[in-house]
Structure 1
Amino acid sequence: MDEQLNYAPCGYLSLWNTGVIAEVNQTLLDSLEYEREEVLGQHVEMLMTISN
């Protein structure tokens, strides 16, 4: 991921067409208190609350 996008003021992630997280920026990781290795390759639903 490009350095500017990695530390952009907003969270960013990209998904494969299956809903699996392909990329995530550091801003979002910091906000959600996750490490990159914890989310890459996981389904996007792992970031959502049950009510979502």
Structure 2
Amino acid sequence: LDQNRIFDPKCLDEFPNLKAFMCRFEALEKIAAYLQSDQFFKMPINNKMAQWGNKPVC
């Protein structure tokens, strides 16, 4: 779900239960600390082996 929100931030708007779940999950003490830490990376989503449209991403 997190990766889907990167591509379309409004993708959960029609699903209030999932949106609320993500809010609760991200608010958990240890998860929130991790998301704010230097260890958390939003990108890259895929590794160098990933293909997009049958073409290598990197």
Give the TM-score band, short-chain normalised: under 0.3
Q: Name the structure where helix makes up a greater proportion of residues.
A: 2
What is the TM-score normalised by the length of structure 1? 0.24
What is the TM-score normalised by the length of structure 2? 0.22
Q: Which has the larger radius of gyration?
A: 2
